[in-house]
Amino acid sequence: MNTETFSISPLGYLATPFADKFGIPRQPRLAPHAIGTLRLLPPYDRSEAVRELGSFSHAWLTFIFHQTKGKWQPTVRPPRLGGNTRVGVFASRSPFRPNALGLSLVELAGIDTHDGVTLRFRGVDLVDGTPIVDIKPYLPYAESVPDAAGGFADASPPSLAVRYEERAIAQLSVALRQHPQLARLIDEVLAQDPRPAYADDPARSYGVRLYCYDVKFRVAEGFAHVDAIDLVG
Amino acid sequence: MNTETFSISPLGYLATPFADKFGIPRQPRLAPHAIGTLRLLPPYDRSEAVRELGSFSHAWLTFIFHQTKGKWQPTVRPPRLGGNTRVGVFASRSPFRPNALGLSLVELAGIDTHDGVTLRFRGVDLVDGTPIVDIKPYLPYAESVPDAAGGFADASPPSLAVRYEERAIAQLSVALRQHPQLARLIDEVLAQDPRPAYADDPARSYGVRLYCYDVKFRVAEGFAHVDAIDLVG
């Protein structure tokens, strides 16, 4: 039995549009309008610590799956296999793993070192408040392997077109004043069909929380229909 | 000041040919004949935990830089910039970082579930005994970004040709009985010129520890000259 342990501490907490887990893109970069903001905590909040980071277009975020409470099992059921085939936890990117470490490739969107250090990333797939424990530059010459075999996740998932119902259009026009990128973000998030893999009831309504909005939608005939964009508490 | 901490524990310790830090390839996959072996510790040593991992050609190893003793500085001097230009620690893959987490993309070379679980990886760049804390499949559709900007590490480093002196040839022929891949591994390791960036004395001799051998070499006129392959302790 293994008892050696190492301690890690957040560099900061990523602010994202995803108020809860449901609807989060299943991989980073599927939703380029999902912007995450990371303010580095002391003692990491020094401009020198990110010097030259801006010369890279992409970065790896290593983070903690902080909502999993340390639970894991030897096998998991990835959504890509319809949610009913079990694969080994180490053959998956499941959050429920022995060490709750996550890895996410994001685009660098901006670095502000005017008052402390604030980093902006494009295409985040993390819930609001995720603890970030490392930032590393992406090295295309070493880490881009286009001909690698991707097993059961070998291709991009199929995507849905998005249609707005009348009420949603009216609500969207108000919401856009506050969040100009909301329409595109909704399109990107719903395009990847966030429903559980085993569900396919065209009458069933789902809600995705983006910023302070509850985006209500149904999926029917290859379209995601947005019924409402309600402000929530 | 940030005090939240998370604990992580090794899944196992990677056995590699690299007895110490000097000479280790500066990125994974530069030395495909560097094979690493990982025996999973209980309770992770169950065949289910790696089911379907074999359908992926590449995997990410998340590991602990266990020889850094928690030291870090806001800036580091990457070898790629000649060792005398400072960049931010988060713009580098330096081992000396706030959380001593490393990330290495390796090829999957074999999975043995006959007695516990033993994984073999090709192209490792880690010192013998490195604690591995996570294994994740590589997702080419999401993680291969060939047109990403790689900053100061945008292209593969230049490489040296390797020549063996007479004594080294004799020693190599004996060593190959024990380690048939040793010649190729030496070629790959020396090709990347493991000398410190600021050193360029053609008379100076260096030693790289591979398995139980001390590989003595000099670098002159674009060649790495192997002088001896001595057995050590």
In a domain, B102, yes or no: yes
B76 HSE (CA, 13 A, CB side): 18
Residue among B9, B142, B151 whose CB faces A52 most closely: B151
Query: Per the structure block, which two tokens stand in for B178?
Result: 């024990």
Q: What pLDDT score was predicted for residue A159? A: 86
Q: Which residues of B touch A90 (CB under 8 A)?
A: 49-50, 53, 59, 135-137
CB contact under 8 A, A74 and B98: no
Q: Is B52 strand, coil or helix?
A: coil
Mutation target vs B (from A1, A8, A26, A135; most B CBs, 10 A cutoff): A8
Mutation target vs A (from B143, B147, B156; most A CBs, 10 A cutoff): B143
Q: Are residues B30 and B129 in the same domain?
A: yes
Q: Are residues B24 and B128 in the same domain?
A: yes
Q: Are residues B21 and B69 in the same domain?
A: yes
Long-range contacts of B170-178 (CB under 8 A, 24+ apart): B171/B228, B171/B229, B171/B230, B172/B229, B175/B213, B175/B229, B175/B231, B178/B211
Q: What pLDDT score was predicted for residue A2? A: 59
Q: Which residues of B touch A147 (CB under 8 A)?
A: 140
* Domain stops at, among A143, A178, A197: A143
Mutation target vs B (from A51, A107, A192; most B CBs, 10 A cutoff): A51
CATH number for the domain that contains residue A39: 2.40.30.70
pLDDT above 80 for A115: yes
In a domain, A177, yes or no: yes
Residue among B42, B62, B146 whose CB faces A140 most closely: B146
Average pLDDT, chain A: 93
CB contact under 8 A, A56 and B149: yes
In a domain, B7, yes or no: no
CB contacts < 8 Å between A and B, how many? 260
Greatest alpha-carbon pair distance for chain A in Å reads 60
Task: Tell me what the mean pLDDT of segment A96-107 comes to.
Answer: 97
pLDDT above 90 for B2: no
What is the least distance, in Å, from the CA of A105 to any CA of chain B?
A: 7
Q: Are residues B169 and B146 in the same domain?
A: no
Residue among B1, B30, B139 whose CB faces A150 most closely: B139
In a domain, B225, yes or no: yes
Check residue A83 and give left, alpha or beta (phi > 0: left; psi -120 to 50: alpha).
left
Q: Are residues B113 and B215 in the same domain?
A: no
Q: For residue A198, what pLDDT band results from cuts at 50, 70 and 90? A: low
Q: For residue A161, what pLDDT band results from cuts at 50, 70 and 90? A: very high
CATH number for the domain that contains residue A170: 3.30.2310.10
Q: Searching chain B, which residue's CA lies closest to the CA of residue A40? A: B2
ipTM: 0.93
What is the least distance, in Å, from the CA of B49 to any CA of chain A?
A: 4
Q: Are residues A102 and A205 in the same domain?
A: no
C-alpha–C-alpha distance, residues B89 and B99, integer Å: 11
The total number of structural domains in chain A stands at: 2
Q: Searching chain B, which residue's CA lies closest to the CA of residue A64? A: B6
Task: Tell me what the mean pLDDT of segment B207-221 comes to.
Answer: 95
In a domain, B73, yes or no: yes
Query: Per the structure block, which two tokens stand in for A85?
Result: 């085939």
Q: Are residues A106 and A70 in the same domain?
A: yes
Q: Are residues A125 and A19 in the same domain?
A: yes
In a domain, A187, yes or no: yes
Q: Are residues B198 and B105 in the same domain?
A: no
In a domain, A21, yes or no: yes
Q: Is B213 strand, coil or helix?
A: strand
Q: Are residues B60 and B121 in the same domain?
A: yes
For A189, the enclosing helix (H) or strand (E) is helix A182-191
Q: Which residues of A touch B138 (CB under 8 A)?
A: 145, 148, 150
Per the model's pLDDT, the better-predicted residue between B92 and B200 turns out to be: B92
The alpha carbon of residue A147 and the mean position of all alpha carbons in its chain are separated, in whole angstroms, by: 25
Strands B206-210 and B58-64: unpaired
In a domain, A156, yes or no: no
Mutation target vs A (from B3, B5, B8; most A CBs, 10 A cutoff): B8
CB contact under 8 A, B86 and A51: yes
* Domain stops at, among A92, A110, A143: A143
Residue B166 belongs to domain spanning? 161-231
C-alpha–C-alpha distance, residues A65 and A100, integer Å: 5
Q: How far is CA A200 from CA A197, B2, B179, in A?
A: 8, 44, 56
* Domain stops at, among A117, A143, A169: A143
C-alpha–C-alpha distance, residues B60 and A148, integer Å: 12
**pLDDT tens, position by position, A4-17:** 999 999 999 999 99
Tokens 């909040």, located at residue:
A45
**pLDDT tens, position by position, B13-64:** 999 999 999 999 888 888 999 999 999 999 999 999 999 999 999 999 999 9
Q: What pLDDT score was predicted for residue B198? A: 64
CB contact under 8 A, B90 and A136: yes
Q: Are residues B120 and B27 in the same domain?
A: yes
State the burial class of residue B26 (Cβ atoms within 10 Å of its Cβ: 0-12, 13-18, 19+).
Answer: middle
Q: Are B190 and B160 in contact (CB under 8 A)?
A: yes
Residue among B3, B29, B50 whose CB faces A88 most closely: B50
DSSP character string of A139-178: -HHHH--TT--BGGG-SPPP--EEEE-HHHHHHHHHHHHH
CB contact under 8 A, B6 and A5: no
Q: Are residues A31 and A92 in the same domain?
A: yes
